[in-house]
């Protein structure tokens, strides 16, 4: 997983605080909030495609 890649969270666990992204990656302790329009980091193409398909 690319550390600088921005993913879109689909759900968050109440039990351990982990987040699951639209592309299926589980992030153990997501501790930051990204504002995509303010960041120069690349976006996950899989998350973007699934977000647009909704």
Within 10 Å of residue 9's Cβ, how many Cβ atoms? 15
Burial status of residue 5 (CB atoms within 10 A of its CB: 0-12, 13-18, 19 or more): middle
Task: Count the helices and strands in the chain (H runs, E runs).
Answer: 1, 3
**pLDDT at res. 8:** 84
Residue with the two structure tokens 């550390």:
3
**pLDDT at res. 7:** 84
Residue 1 pLDDT > 60, yes or no?
no
Give 3-53 pLDDT, tens digit per residue.
677 888 888 888 888 889 999 999 887 766 666 556 677 888 999 898 888
Q: What is the DSSP letter of 15?
A: T
Look up the pTM and report it.
0.68
- Cα–Cα distance measured from residue 48 to residue 15, given in angstroms and rounded to the nearest whole number: 27
């Amino acid at each position: 997983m690319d550390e600088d890649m921005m993913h879109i969270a689909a759900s968050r666990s109440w039990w351990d605080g982990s987040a699951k992204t639209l592309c299926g990656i589980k992030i153990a302790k997501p501790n930051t909030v990204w504002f995509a329009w303010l960041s120069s980091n690349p976006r996950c193409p899989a998350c973007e495609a699934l977000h647009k398909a909704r």
